[in-house]
Homo-oligomer: A and B are copies of this chain.
């Protein structure tokens, strides 16, 4: 009992330091990109000496990897709540809300995520982990599409999922570029509209008897007269 408080406090301090360093790294990576970021710059941003940084991370790559892993983990949690069975029961617009909103929110809250994932000059293991997450997300999107449009061939489903995801990422950049507030909200809404229009025909074709999917008049671009 007399020996616990110290180690605990130490561990707590260590955790705080790590968090502090990772946050600093996130900021600097965001501002300058991975390659152009120096460990000294990270240490400075964290108000810490270079030596301290190296007490917690063996090298620059390790920082990026740890940061990447934490972000990926959070990201997985975020999308884990998105693709629930409950949400799959919703009509397409509802599903899009349920899926798009948390992903957008996560990326708004963690701009370093994209900064780290975009760079082509990023250490191997991050790229791998990123690809893994990418693949997971893609699989989820494919499953969703398969659920809404069971008649689609595997190849079509895969291609559609890929394009939807690509468009989402493009829209995400737009959202992040927009200033927080009504403009960003409008951009998010527009992104959902785009996805809805892209995906609706698939749903309608394979399940023509679901008028509930039409959310706004004219929202789904394609109808037979």
Partner-B contacts on A (CB < 8 A): 30, 32-36, 115, 118-121, 159-160, 162-164, 166-171, 173-174, 186-187, 190-191, 193-194, 196-198, 200-201, 204-205, 215-222
Q: Which residues of B contact A159 (CB under 8 A)?
A: 186-187, 190
Q: Are B174 and A200 in contact (CB under 8 A)?
A: no
Q: Are B163 and A119 in contact (CB under 8 A)?
A: no
CB distance from A42 to the nearest CB of B (A): 15
21 interchain pairs, CB-CB under 8 A: A30-B120, A32-B120, A33-B35, A35-B35, A118-B118, A119-B119, A159-B190, A162-B174, A163-B171, A163-B174, A166-B167, A166-B170, A166-B171, A168-B170, A170-B170, A194-B194, A197-B200, A197-B221, A201-B219, A215-B222, A216-B222
CA distance A155 to B205 in the complex (A): 32
